[in-house]
Chain A
C-alpha cells in the first residue's frame, strides 16, 4: 500500500525498525552504565567502609538508572505498535508492556523509600 508521496508501508516499517533499535540500544546502554557505575562504587565503598548505610545511595542511583532504562524499553514497545502488528503480536506486546510498566512502578517506589531513608538518616542499607 502506498501512502502519499510514494512512501509505502515497507518504508515506514523500515524506519520504525531503525528507531526501535536506537531506542532499545539507548535503554541497554543506560542500564549497563548504571550497573557498571554501581559495581565500581560498591567495590570502592566496600573496600573503604564497613557501615551498611553507605551502600544505600549507591543502590538509589542504580535504581534510577534501571527505571530510566525501563522507560526506554517501554518507548520501544510503543514504537513497535506504529507498524500494524498481528492480533497475536499485539497481545504479546500488551502483556510485556504491562509487566514492564509494573516493574517501573515498583522500582520507582523503592527509589522513593530509599530517598526517604537517606533523608531521615535511618539508612540501614537493606531494602524491605
Chain B
C-alpha cells in the first residue's frame, strides 16, 4: 500500500511541477504558480500519509502546508510593498 501511495505521490508531484510551469508561462504570476505548485505538493504529501501512523511523514505534510502559507504570504506582502 505504501509503495502504491508513494508512486501516486511522485506522479502528483511531477504533475504539480508541470502545472505550475504552465501557469507561470501563461499568467506571468510567480505567486499564483507557487500556489498551484504547493497545492499539488500538499496533495502528494497527504497521499504519502496513507498507512500506519508515521510521525515523520505526517510532520512533513504539515510542514509543506506551513511553508505554503509562509511563502505565499511573504510573496504577497512583498508584492504589496513594492506596488
Contacts and interface: CB of A to CB of B under 8 A. Distances in A.
Interface of A: 21, 24-25, 27-28, 31-32, 34-36, 38-39, 42-43, 46-47, 49-52, 55, 59, 62-63, 65-66, 69-70, 73, 77, 80, 89, 92-93, 95-97, 99-100, 102-103, 106-107, 125-128
A27 B50 contact: yes
A70 B58 CA distance: 11
Q: Dominant SS at the A interface? A: helix
B53 A93 contact: yes
In the A-B complex, the 9 residue pairs with the closest CB atoms? A96-B53, A35-B43, A42-B19, A46-B22, A35-B12, A39-B15, A125-B32, A46-B26, A99-B58
A36 to B, nearest CB: 8
Given A24-B50, A35-B15, A62-B43, A126 B76 contact: yes
Interface residues of B, number: 42
